[in-house]
């Protein structure tokens, strides 16, 4: 018999999905004690404070995610086009990430918000003088001439050598960093003192890009970007302890609720209830967090998905990455079709074909929008780690819209494990051990 779980749909309100399972019932709290070499900061969703419903936030995230999927594919295979799909329309940004962090730069410190991106490496902010192009940002643009700790990096530095594109100029190491489409930042590489978190943890001599020419969509939510990728330029790689974790609150929570990012020693070890898989390398894009997905089970049954569906190809295409900046999970076509087929067979509700939500598979809720609806269990079989998801991490219900939808989409090539599927897990990236761990955690209470 297929494994099912019941969800109770609350009338007139955006429904919360309730699941009684080991993945949902086991949790642990994050520590807030400050340790040497680590810090913790709050993450704010880019749509926070915009008076949007849960479904509206999801739809905006899906539009950004569709474009981000194309951009990430283009970063692996530069010959691919990253032109926006037809369903991406203003005013939704193209999407270089879904979360912002607050930090400060310089001495004295100047505060600004930055996009957090696990799909790239470089830390950068806009800098005066903006000799060519700077976009409008919510806070003042950083002026390095006002800081006593700003220093340009020489061309002989390791960070300059790690840049994908650099030029040795009269003022030191100049950089150009692109994001798979027309988005880019260009300027001079430097070091500076950065200040993080409510405890005002100072990290001196952190390498970053001082951007004087910053082009493209998706940056204007903040004053720059903090790369958390696997390369030497990223924030995590520049810390003494190269690991970080985040805990993302549920989409069912209030939009203003803060998620948490922990760096270095505060990222902590994996707990007893964790499942851990290894990180694998793709030489075509070594910054991405690739994992080996070996299969998917729906309702307790393993789906007939060929191993090739999630395999890394010789040209660098394919595979699966874990990404905080993509909203829903995208599966390679043959795998997604099997998952969709299994959910249609297991859920005793009519399929909604209106296409009004932006999600591919939705079901019409029973009349009145309340009562119990059974949905099948969902397990991702990563190498060495079977990750069972709570129902709210893959079924998004909205009784006001009269639908419950599968929070997944179809891709061609790369698969992405998105942030909705990661919510209410402490997700730990340990670059030293080359592992990725998931621990069930009530993130809103952490």
Provide the annotated active-site residues.
117, 323
Residue 224 three-state SS: strand
Computed over its alpha carbons, how large is the radius of gyration of the chain? 22
Rounded to whole angstroms, what are the CA distances from 300 to 69, 79, 167, 358? 29, 40, 55, 28
Instruction: Report helix, strand or coil for 308.
Output: helix
Find residue 97's DSSP bridge partners. Answer: none
What does the block give as tokens for 262? 């922990």
User: CA 402 → CA 106, 119, 357, distances in Å?
Assistant: 51, 35, 11
Nearest Cα neighbor of 373 from 19, 14, 94, 13 is 19
Give Cβ neighbours of residue 136 (< 8 Å, ≥ 6 apart): 220
Helices of type H across 43-182: 54-76, 158-162
Q: Any idea how long the chain is?
A: 446
CA angle 67, 42, 215 (to 5 degrees): 35
Q: What are phi and psi of 187, to 5 degrees?
A: 175, -145
Unique residue bearing structure tokens 């330029």: 233
CA distance 74 to 267: 31
For residues 332 and 373, give the distance between their C-alpha atoms in angstroms, rounded to a whole number: 28
**Helices vs strands, H then E, count in the chain:** 6, 30
Phi-psi region of 318 (alpha: psi -120 to 50; beta: other; left: phi over 0): left
Instruction: Note whether 331 and 321 are within 8 A (CB).
Output: no
Question: How far apart, in whole angstroms, are the C-alpha atoms of residue 335 and residue 410?
Answer: 9
CA-based torsion, 217, 223, 228, 234: positive or negative: positive
Contact between 175 and 181 under an 8 Å Cβ cutoff? The reply is: no
Q: Are 91 and 352 in contact (CB under 8 A)?
A: no
How far is Cα 282 from Cα 80, in angstroms, rounded to an integer?
17
């Amino acid at each position: 018999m297929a494994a099912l779980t019941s969800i109770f749909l609350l009338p007139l309100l955006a429904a919360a999905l309730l699941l009684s399972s080991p993945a949902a019932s086991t949790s642990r709290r994050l520590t807030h004690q400050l340790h040497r070499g680590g810090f913790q900061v709050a993450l704010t969703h880019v749509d926070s404070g915009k008076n949007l419903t849960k479904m509206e936030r999801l739809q905006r995230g899906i539009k950004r995610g569709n474009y981000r999927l194309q951009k990430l594919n283009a970063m692996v295979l530069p010959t691919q086009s990253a032109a926006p799909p037809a369903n991406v329309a203003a005013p939704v940004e193209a999407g270089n990430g879904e979360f912002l962090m607050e930090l400060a730069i310089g001495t004295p410190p100047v505060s600004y918000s930055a996009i957090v991106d696990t799909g790239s490496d470089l830390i950068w902010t806009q800098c005066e003088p903006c000799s060519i192009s700077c976009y409008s940002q919510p806070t003042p643009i950083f002026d390095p001439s006002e800081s006593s700790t700003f220093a340009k990096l020489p061309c002989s530095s390791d960070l300059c050598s790690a840049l994908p594109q650099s030029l040795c100029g009269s003022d030191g190491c100049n950089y150009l960093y692109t994001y798979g489409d027309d988005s880019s930042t260009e300027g001079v590489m430097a070091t500076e003192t950065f200040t993080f978190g409510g405890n005002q943890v100072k990290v001196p001599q952190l390498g970053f890009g001082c951007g004087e020419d910053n082009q493209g969509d998706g940056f204007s939510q903040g004053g720059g970007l903090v790369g958390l990728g696997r390369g030497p330029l990223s924030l995590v790689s520049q810390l003494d302890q190269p690991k970080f974790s985040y805990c993302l609150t549920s989409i069912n929570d209030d939009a203003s609720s803060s998620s948490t990012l922990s760096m270095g020693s505060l990222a902590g070890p994996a707990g007893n209830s964790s499942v851990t898989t290894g990180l694998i390398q793709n030489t075509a894009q070594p910054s991405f967090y690739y994992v080996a997905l070996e299969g998917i089970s729906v309702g307790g049954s393993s789906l007939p998905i060929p191993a090739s569906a999630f395999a890394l190809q010789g040209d660098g295409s394919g595979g699966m990455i874990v990404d905080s900046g993509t909203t829903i999970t995208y599966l390679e076509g043959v795998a997604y079709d099997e998952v969709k087929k299994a959910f249609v067979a297991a859920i005793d509700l009519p399929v909604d074909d209106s296409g009004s939500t932006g999600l591919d598979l939705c079901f019409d809720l029973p009349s009145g929008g309340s009562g119990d609806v059974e949905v099948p269990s969902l397990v991702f079989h990563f190498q060495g780690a079977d990750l069972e998801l709570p129902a709210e991490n893959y079924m998004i219900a909205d009784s006001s819209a009269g639908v419950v939808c599968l929070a997944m989409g179809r891709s061609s090539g790369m698969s992405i494990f998105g942030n909705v599927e990661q919510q209410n897990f402490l997700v730990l990236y340990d670059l030293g051990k080359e592992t990725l761990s998931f621990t069930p955690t009530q993130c809103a209470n952490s």
